[in-house]
A = this chain, B = another copy of it.
Amino acid sequence: MLRIYGVYKSRATRTFWLAGELGLAFEHVPVIQAYKLADPMAPGARINTRSPEYLAVNPMGAIPAIDDDGLKLHESMAINLYLARKAGGPLAPKDLAEDALMTQWSFFAVAEIEANALKISMSNAQGRLSTEAGQAEAEVAARLLKRPLAVLESHFADNDYAVGGRFTVADINLAEVVRYGQPYQPLMDAHPHIAAWLKRCHDRPAFKAMWQTRLDEQE
């Protein structure tokens, strides 16, 4: 049995989206980030990223993590690559070369894009992005994203999807990171091919269903 740990307002969206695309049955364990609770260590506090029972699943105390018939995995990108490979089909790599490229784009997302894109996402979530200071911060983040986004823009000028001419797990892994930068409109305006690809990804029924569950999630 597949168990997915994490809430929908977290990096776990990546895995929920993929599970939806693959039509996987899973048990959802809504582990919440400890920082969102007043006293995560209190007796009776809901299960969170500092709960001993969760640290036994992922000692880093980060979400998401999975337990797939006893195989415990953390690191969202690795989880998604594993679930796609195991399921097979169009979202999975069809050979070693595709696997290499899907792995490459997933590392690219984490190493070259995520930290700066997250600054925009957090600024937006905290209501700071609309302020002058928030716009200035976002502009700095956008400048640091210039090179990796130029690489992606050029890739999506020639390709509808990341790998193999079709929607795959690599698009989910990339799109879930690029989405963090989406609230800063100048970034999207400067990269129309990225914006069009992100829209193609977000138009998928499995993304929309995941997003609706996220919007409905009680904290």
Contact = CB atoms under 8 A, between A and B. Distances in A.
Contacts of A74: 104, 108
A193 to B, nearest CB: 14
A206 B25 CA distance: 44
Given A59-B151, A154-B59, A96 B86 contact: yes
B60 A73 contact: no
Interface stretch (A14-22, A34-42, A76-84, A197-205): A76-84
B71 A97 contact: yes
Chain A's interface size range is 20 to 34
B100 A82 contact: yes
Contact of A104 (B75, B97, B104): B75
A150 B61 CA distance: 12
A169 B151 CA distance: 28
Oligomeric state, in number of copies?
A: 2
Interface string A64-101: 00000001011101110110011000000000110111
A73 B100 contact: yes
Interface of A: 59-61, 71, 73-75, 77-79, 81-82, 85-86, 96-97, 99-101, 103-104, 106-108, 110-112, 114, 147-148, 150-151, 154
21 contacts: A59-B154, A60-B147, A60-B151, A71-B100, A74-B108, A75-B103, A75-B104, A75-B107, A75-B108, A75-B111, A77-B103, A77-B107, A78-B100, A78-B103, A79-B104, A81-B100, A81-B103, A82-B99, A86-B96, A103-B103, A111-B114
Given A78-B104, A81-B103, A85-B100, 8 more contacts: A71-B100, A73-B104, A77-B107, A82-B96, A82-B103, A107-B107, A110-B111, A111-B114
